[in-house]
Chain A
Amino acid sequence: MDTHNEVLSVSGLHVSYGTKEVLRGIDYNISEREVVAVLGANGSGKSTSLNAISGFVGASSGRIVFNGTDITELAAHKIFRLGVIQVSQARDLFPGLTVEHNLRLGAAVRNREEIEQRLEVVFNYFPRLSERRNQQARSLSGGEQQMVAIGRAVMANPKLLLLDEPSGGLAPQFINEIGDIVQALKDDGATMLMVEQNLSLAFKVADRFIILRDGMVSDGGFVKSLEGNHDEIVRTIYL
């Protein structure tokens, strides 16, 4: 993997929900064109970490810097405009709108001038969505909805794509399909931070991983260095 400029730097990040401290001083960074998987058991702070970067939750202390800009205190819509685009765990589609409207809305605020071009790009990644472009999002299967959610994010031409459990709740054939799409995005040069419970998917596409445990980074490294031996990682996460 080519390493390029640092895109994101998270340092000493603390996030609390009320009196419960969910993140307790985590540090990590991502370089351009790199895919980093955030692993950890339920409640370890993985999604909170993504939500803090996106501006959905505020940091109680620490710093998040994106492409040289301190985004720690920025509102979510301003972070979006900088190119940090999240695909949330719940997908958060617009169920009463068509697939095409959902996708177009991804570029409505950012990247409006390239909307037709991006729509073609997304339909190339997801030919199935082209066939369903006039269907309401609520009528799609879970896997197809996940494709719309990723497609909507791709419409915004992200500089950093945050994927929160892209395989969550999907049937095995869709997990493979989503894995292929994430791989295709990587091959096309996307920079991604991915929270994922499915280790085979995570290790298939990620260059590097970090493990969160009780709100702190407990381990991490390059996927290649594992040489396919994931048992130690599973133990680190769950035991």
Chain B
Amino acid sequence: MDIFLQLTLSGLSQGAIFALIALSLTVVYRATTIVNFGHGDFVMAGAFFVYVLVIYVELPYVFAAISAVLIMLGMGLGVSRGFIDPIKAGPHIGFAMMSISLGYVLRGGARFLWGREVFPMPRVFDIEPFFIGNLVVTGDVLFISAIVAVFLLIFFFIFYRTTTGVIIQAVYQSERGATLIGVNVRAFHQSMWGVGLAMGALAGILIAPISLLHPDLGATFLIRGFAAMTLGGFGSLGGAVVGGLLLGVAEQLFGFYINSSLQDITAYLIIVAVLVIRPAGLFGRTVTVRV
């Protein structure tokens, strides 16, 4: 039982990162109906920005993290304005091609600068592990869980309890309706790209200190984000969070109780199983997709 609880705790901590990635993908998807296939590489870019700012610029981690989030926010606005807006009149598949290409450009850029080396990120906080009964709670688990929990509370409070949130919900439901109440939908799309990439960067920033950085890191983030979205229900914000947490726990449990090699393919197995058994996922909703 202790092992099960320990694995669950560890899985929830990992899952919090996946939840953040899935949520950031969902924010862009719900606003624009675009699935950002390059999102994993943007997450990687966020982590690398922190690395550069901490190692080369010697900024304290917190300032580096805030700077990286802001840089990615700006990059999101720029991507939307510079690369998505100009192809809006084209076929929807163009968005997928564009996002994949932008992701590979980022990955290629990172490889160009750092090769295929792996980089250890310095530890951020040296928090001593503590025990709850026989359960070990490490500093990393505490740090990641706390940051993600606070972020999610703020995110969902804004979304459901503020006028800004109601306007966002409104645009999600009817873009033409939103234009009829004076919303600049084009600017809204751009800002959602910014928010999505900034949230993805936050995930990368949180995972950077506990994992090794390398330019190909994005692929593993992307597939886990997709698996969490699929499990929670494509397009559901709450579902993305629940899906991410369940995926994190499932990876740990499958890896320990069945076979460690299963850990890396849990995300793929979940995608296949959910699409076959319950395509709409746990909290799925019908989403109108522009084609």
In the bound complex, do residue A101 and residue B182 qualify as a contact, i.e. CB atoms below 8 Å apart? no
In the bound complex, do residue A110 and residue B182 qualify as a contact, i.e. CB atoms below 8 Å apart? yes
Checking A80, A88, A94, A95 against B182 with a beta-carbon cut-off of 8 angstroms, the contacting residue is A80
Residue of B nearest to A162 (CB): B180
Complex interface residues of chain B between 141 and 200 (CB less than 8 A to chain A):
163, 166-167, 169-170, 173-174, 176-177, 179-186
Task: Please encode chain B, from 6 to 41, with 1 for each CB lying within 8 Å of some chain A CB and 0 for all others.
Answer: 000000000000000000000000000000000000
In the bound complex, do residue B176 and residue A97 qualify as a contact, i.e. CB atoms below 8 Å apart? no
Residue of A nearest to B185 (CB): A77
Checking A80, A92, A156 against B174 with a beta-carbon cut-off of 8 angstroms, the contacting residue is A92
Residue of A nearest to B186 (CB): A75
Complex interface residues of chain A between 60 and 100 (CB less than 8 A to chain B):
75-77, 80-81, 85-88, 90, 92-97
Complex interface residues of chain A between 23 and 78 (CB less than 8 A to chain B):
54, 56, 75-77
Instruction: Give Cα A109–Cα B182 distance, bound, in whole angstroms.
Output: 6
CB distance from B120 to the nearest CB of A (A): 47
Task: Please encode chain A, from 174 to 191, with 1 for each CB lying within 8 Å of some chain B CB and 0 for all others.
Answer: 000000000000000000
Instruction: Give Cα A106–Cα B177 distance, bound, in whole angstroms.
Output: 10
Residues of A within 8 A of B176 (CB): 56, 88, 90, 92
Q: Is A108 engaged at the interface, CB distance under 8 Å to the other chain? A: yes
Complex interface residues of chain B between 113 and 152 (CB less than 8 A to chain A):
none
Q: Is A7 engaged at the interface, CB distance under 8 Å to the other chain? A: no
Residues of B within 8 A of A75 (CB): 184, 186
Residues of A within 8 A of B174 (CB): 92-95
Instruction: Give Cα A220–Cα B110 distance, bound, in whole angstroms.
Output: 67
CB distance from A50 to the nearest CB of B (A): 12
Known A94-B170, A94-B174, A96-B169: A105·B179 in contact at CB below 8 Å: no
Known A94-B169, A94-B170, A94-B173: A76·B163 in contact at CB below 8 Å: no
Checking B167, B177, B181 against A80 with a beta-carbon cut-off of 8 angstroms, the contacting residue is B181
Number of interface residues of B (CB under 8 A): 17
- The listed residue with most A CB atoms (<10 A of its CB), out of B166, B181, B183, B185, is B181
Q: Is A208 engaged at the interface, CB distance under 8 Å to the other chain? A: no
A-B contact count (CB 8 A): 64
Instruction: Give Cα A106–Cα B184 distance, bound, in whole angstroms.
Output: 14
CB distance from B176 to the nearest CB of A (A): 5
Instruction: Give Cα A194–Cα B32 distance, bound, in whole angstroms.
Output: 32
CB distance from A163 to the nearest CB of B (A): 12
Q: Is A213 engaged at the interface, CB distance under 8 Å to the other chain? A: no
In the bound complex, do residue A97 and residue B170 qualify as a contact, i.e. CB atoms below 8 Å apart? yes
Instruction: Give Cα A156–Cα B176 distance, bound, in whole angstroms.
Output: 16
Known A105-B166, A105-B167: A93·B182 in contact at CB below 8 Å: no
Complex interface residues of chain B between 46 and 69 (CB less than 8 A to chain A):
none
In the bound complex, do residue B184 and residue A108 qualify as a contact, i.e. CB atoms below 8 Å apart? no
Residue of A nearest to B181 (CB): A105
Checking A86, A90, A97, A108 against B173 with a beta-carbon cut-off of 8 angstroms, the contacting residue is A97
Instruction: Give Cα A101–Cα B174 distance, bound, in whole angstroms.
Output: 14
Instruction: Give Cα A41–Cα B141 distance, bound, in whole angstroms.
Output: 67
In the bound complex, do residue B173 and residue A156 qualify as a contact, i.e. CB atoms below 8 Å apart? no
Residues of B within 8 A of A88 (CB): 176, 180
Q: Is A152 engaged at the interface, CB distance under 8 Å to the other chain? A: yes
- The listed residue with most A CB atoms (<10 A of its CB), out of B176, B177, B180, B183, is B180
Residue of A nearest to B166 (CB): A101
Residues of B within 8 A of A156 (CB): 181-182
Known A92-B174, A94-B177, A96-B173: A77·B182 in contact at CB below 8 Å: yes
In the bound complex, do residue A92 and residue B177 qualify as a contact, i.e. CB atoms below 8 Å apart? yes
Residue of A nearest to B169 (CB): A97
Instruction: Give Cα A56–Cα B163 distance, bound, in whole angstroms.
Output: 25
In the bound complex, do residue B182 and residue A56 qualify as a contact, i.e. CB atoms below 8 Å apart? no
Residues of A within 8 A of B180 (CB): 54, 80, 85-88, 92, 152-153
Instruction: Give Cα A105–Cα B166 distance, bound, in whole angstroms.
Output: 8
Known A105-B167, A108-B167: A93·B177 in contact at CB below 8 Å: yes
What are some 23 contacts across the A-B interface (CB < 8 A)? A56-B176, A75-B184, A77-B182, A77-B183, A77-B184, A77-B185, A80-B182, A90-B176, A92-B177, A93-B177, A94-B169, A94-B174, A95-B174, A97-B170, A101-B170, A108-B163, A108-B182, A109-B181, A109-B182, A152-B180, A152-B181, A153-B180, A156-B181
Instruction: Name the 8 nearest CB pairs between A and B, nearest first.
Output: A109-B182, A92-B177, A80-B182, A77-B184, A94-B173, A94-B170, A92-B176, A76-B179
